[in-house]
Chains A and B, each alone.
Chain A
Amino acid sequence: MSELALEKHEADSKSIFGFWVYLMTDCVLFATLFGTFAVLRGSTFGGPAGSDLFSMPFVLVETLALLTSSFTCGLGLLAARRRDKQQVLLFFGITFLLGIFFLTMELTEFHHLAQEGNSWRHSGFLSSFFTLVATHGLHITAGLLWMTIMGIEVLTRGLNRVVTRQLTMLSLFWHFLDIIWIFIFTIVYLMGRAAV
């Protein structure tokens, strides 16, 4: 590696660190929403609580889809490091499809809840539920758009240094969203059954 390449490499790790700092501030955004949910989860205004509303097998499938997509995203990044264009497109393609599947399931759940009259307007619990889960869903949507753009970049520009750096950031973002989902799955869906 030449001096110049080394300098570029330093610049890359600085941008990746900057992106990491962004992710940590995003954590704070989610913390406020988790805090709000924790405070309001009992405020059902005479309406249904979490344990009456959510279908556990449905949420498990959602969770497994997102977890698998986090795994395939990591494999995609490894392929990018090997400069294997076919595998990058394959693994990020699988990640993209699993992301679409997850988002479709989430929107189906929202639609279902709203149809039964349990929309965000019904109670403090439902307002905080929709805000928290939909903010995560919005991040997933942004990630899917980003993945589409990266797919085009890989096809047109190939796996150059800039594209690989952006793929690194994208996969950090995607792993981060899976970690946030672990806590949504645990706190919103599973702990809703504990009834404390």
Chain B
Amino acid sequence: MSQPKAVVARHETTHGTVRSYTIGFVLSLILTLTAYLLVVNDVFHGWTLVYALATLAVAQLLVQLLFFLHLGRESRPRWNLTVMLFAVMVVATLVFGSLWIMRNIQYNHNHGATPSGTNEFIIHDEGYNQ
């Protein structure tokens, strides 16, 4: 049975080690505490804070995918990664699509109790001269 040996050896590399879990844990701790301290010490405000927090969250997502779920060590073909990328696409469509549509609905509805009121608001907001 010389042939299966290579398969086994390759499979072993998809498992983690104490080292990889520890690195992942420490990096996650640092990222979590950084995000927390940014917020409680009022370092950034408004959209700057939102972008900073989003970046830290995505960084922690990548850290955990690599060091806890070992996605980087998967052997080819990378089916796990493929399925995950598809899920990411669906998630992005759902979340950003909802936000986009609902923003437009609000823009077209809430500024006047009547259709003509809404019309007037949009004409004013977009700078049309009649």
Contact = CB atoms under 8 A, between A and B. Distances in A.
Interface of A: 1-3, 6, 9, 13, 17, 20-21, 24-25, 27-28, 31-32, 34-36, 38-39, 56, 60, 63-64, 67-68, 70-71, 74-75, 77-78, 81, 172, 175, 178-179, 182-183, 185-187, 190-191, 193-196
A194 B91 contact: no
7 contacts: A17-B79, A24-B86, A28-B91, A67-B25, A67-B28, A179-B65, A186-B54
Contacts of A179: 61, 64-65
Given A27-B91, A60-B32, A196-B50, 6 more contacts: A17-B79, A31-B90, A39-B102, A60-B36, A185-B32, A196-B46
B7 A6 contact: yes
Chain B: number of interface residues, binned into ranges: 35 or more
A186 B53 contact: yes
B86 A31 contact: no
B109 interface: no
Contacts of A196: 46-47, 50
Given A56-B36, A67-B28, A175-B68, A78 B21 contact: yes
Q: Which of A1, A179, A194 has the most CB of B within 10 A?
A: A194
A162 B45 CA distance: 51
Interface string B85-120: 011001100110111001000000000000000000
B84 to A, nearest CB: 6
Contacts of B94: 28, 31-32, 35
Interface in B1-55: 1, 4-5, 7-8, 11, 15-18, 21-22, 24-25, 28-29, 32, 35-36, 39-40, 45-47, 49-50, 53-54
Given A186-B54, A195-B46, A34 B16 contact: no
Contacts of B11: 9, 13
B32 A39 contact: no
A193 B15 contact: no
Contacts of B83: 20-21, 24
A3 B1 contact: yes
A32 B97 CA distance: 11
Contact of A78 (B8, B17, B28, B57): B17
A73 to B, nearest CB: 9
B71 to A, nearest CB: 10
